[in-house]
Chain A
Amino acid sequence: MKSMVTFERVSKVYGEKTNQTAALKDVSFSVNTGEFVAIIGPSGSGKSTFLSMAGLLLSPTSGNVFIENEIITNLKEKDRANLRLQKIGFVFQASNLIPYLTVMDQLLLIGKLSRSRKDTKQKADRLLEKLGLSHRKHHFPSQLSGGEKQRVAIARAWMNDPQIILADEPTASLDSKRGREVVEMLASEIKRKEKAGIIVTHDERVLDLCDRVLMIKDGELQIG
């Protein structure tokens, strides 16, 4: 067990001097390999900010963020994009698939972006098979149901075999049965392949699938 994502006294402040709002206050946190952590909290509590920083989409105002014990606070945008591509898999709220790509192309795009031509096709085939989407390979997102879309998004997040899986309200647009299925898929993959996972959710019915539940309230992290 080693720590994959570490926050060291991280704060994030939005706005200019006069009307500053602190989205995160002095948060220290760490998630290890094989661990699936849920972040809950009311809207506006700083959950999205937290996830964005773990996913290298935002830089902290103070404090440091480490990925696999490497400090990434001061990296350039280009290097961050590259690191996101290599190490992090995102599953967004409402799937956020690219509307003009077929299910297969959604996955192949990741291969294109990371320039690894070799066996991306077989890998995509295997993933779709595993997630029960083989028959939907040549369909566009608009032809899929909500659950199918979210499963494609998971397949996309797994494409580069990332060490870290970040999920932003993945169950928001699904009914409770489908929602639970999606989180189960994430949890079992994280366990089996020793990855680190963080899920931001409102959905209390899936919390039992997570190893730890953390609560953010007014920018401060509390043990749930």
Chain B
Amino acid sequence: MFLAIREIWYSKLRYFLIGLIMVLITWLVFMVAGLANGLSADNASAIDRMNADYFVMQKDAEGKLNRSQISKIQWKGVSQQTKDKNATPIGMKMTSVLKLGTTKKMDITAFAVDINGFIAPKVIVGSSIKFLAKGEIVIDQSLEQEGIRIGDWMVDSNSEKKWKVVGYTTNNSYSHSPVIYMNQATWIDWTKQDSYNAVVLRGMESQKIKLNKELELVSKKRVLQSTPGYKEEQGSLEMMIAFLFIIASFIQAVFFYVITLQKSHQFGVLKAIGATTKYLVRSVVGQIIVIASISVLVSIGFTYATSLILPDSVPFILEKSTFAGFSVLMIMVSLLGALLSIYQITKVEAIDAIGRVE
């Protein structure tokens, strides 16, 4: 580190510039990652926030909630094998609704839940979900922005069924559409059938449940990923992040390779006066670790500052684990970029120092 630190200090501008590029890239990585996290939570927060571990679904539904259908008999079969009410049915349907008396349609997702079960949402305005009666619904607060108030009536545009809004929940969406909750009686009345989409399970003994051939146990994570649009959205953001890491690696590689080439005579002199290749490699690796670490720390600060000034409507969530993981990865990727320079250093021979004027 003796050489590494002194050189960075001497060529401040040069190392500041490469550091700045690294800061910008890392900053962008964190921003895109935060956005990916935020969108993921925003997309299907009704599933994400559900206190559930597994879903029982039809096998051929491939984890897609809207494709699965569970009959009353199948539901009873599952619930008999669990205790403490650790199983509860869920019905869901994506539809469009309008406020009675207006013509503006809105896409929503309806969830039918047992109002005494563990997936019944918390009502933040209005009476408790336990008192939700037939024909009444609790809606996600985001619909308030569409002008819907407690006491309004909403109409399903297909079936012409009318429901009365009696309360708000918060942060419940599915496939980026707000979720409305209804009880099972409303559901049966609406869909004209006594079946659900899935059985939601919680607790560790879920995995022991015996299911017949048509059904399968699906983890909550897979249900999330099977939400319409979820994979496509996350996939494109993840691709951006991956590319940023590749770019970061190449930039470091090119920068350190060029300055190593430029310094090959100097490395020759150092070798001639007794520096081993190992010592010189350690010095370059040390420089990269110093530059990458400082860049990562600065960009964490920038990301945090940006998150404070972002408007609330931008979904942005960054967890410590994401910061930590990507920080380590960024430093690793930088070191990968150093391999080219290390190879160059091993090739320099001490003899280069003799008989040449710099």
Contact = CB atoms under 8 A, between A and B. Distances in A.
B269 A51 contact: no
Interface string A159-179: 010000000110011000000
Interface residues of A, number: 36
B357 A85 contact: no
B358 interface: yes
Contact of A52 (B2, B271, B276, B354): B354
Contacts of A109: 2-3
B7 interface: yes
A90 interface: yes
A101 B7 CA distance: 7
Chain B interface main SS type: helix
Interface stretch (B27-35, B94-102, B143-151, B345-353): B345-353
A28 interface: no
Nearest to B350: A57
A76 to B, nearest CB: 11
A81 B356 CA distance: 20
A48 B353 CA distance: 10
Which of A86, A156, A160, A168 has the largest count of B CB atoms less than 10 A from its CB? A168
Contacts of B353: 57, 90, 92, 96
A113 B351 contact: no
Interface in B242-274: 265-266, 269-274
B269 A92 contact: yes
B274 A113 contact: yes
Contacts of B2: 105, 108-109, 112
B273 A99 contact: no
B324 interface: no
A78 interface: yes
Contact of B6 (A84, A96, A100): A100
B11 interface: yes
A105 B6 contact: yes
A83 to B, nearest CB: 8
Interface in A74-99: 77-78, 81-82, 84-86, 90, 92-94, 96, 98-99
Nearest to B279: A113
Interface residues of B, number: 28
B274 A55 contact: no
Contacts of B351: 52, 57-58
Which of B6, B277, B279 has the largest count of A CB atoms less than 10 A from its CB? B6
A96 B353 CA distance: 8
A110 interface: yes
Given A81-B274, A110-B274, A113-B274, A93 B6 contact: no
B313 to A, nearest CB: 50
A110 B273 CA distance: 8
Contacts of A52: 351, 354
B274 A57 contact: no
Nearest to B278: A78
Interface in B272-307: 272-277, 279
A69 B266 CA distance: 31
Interface string B326-358: 000000000000000000000001110111111
B3 to A, nearest CB: 7
A156 B273 CA distance: 9
A96 B273 CA distance: 11
A90 B7 CA distance: 22
Nearest to B9: A100
Contacts of B279: 113
B130 to A, nearest CB: 73
Contacts of B274: 81-82, 84-86, 110, 113-114, 160
A85 B11 contact: no
A96 B263 CA distance: 12
Given A94-B357, A140-B10, A113 B275 contact: yes
A77 B350 CA distance: 10
Contacts of A48: 354-355
Contact of B266 (A55, A81, A99, A172): A99
A101 B11 CA distance: 11
Interface string B1-21: 011001101110000000000
23 contacts: A48-B354, A55-B272, A57-B349, A57-B354, A58-B351, A81-B271, A81-B350, A82-B274, A84-B272, A84-B350, A85-B273, A93-B356, A94-B357, A96-B266, A98-B269, A100-B3, A100-B9, A100-B11, A105-B6, A110-B274, A113-B275, A156-B273, A168-B355
Interface of B: 2-3, 6-7, 9-11, 265-266, 269-277, 279, 349-351, 353-358
Given A48-B355, A99-B10, 10 more contacts: A52-B351, A57-B349, A57-B353, A82-B274, A86-B274, A92-B269, A92-B272, A100-B10, A160-B274, A169-B355
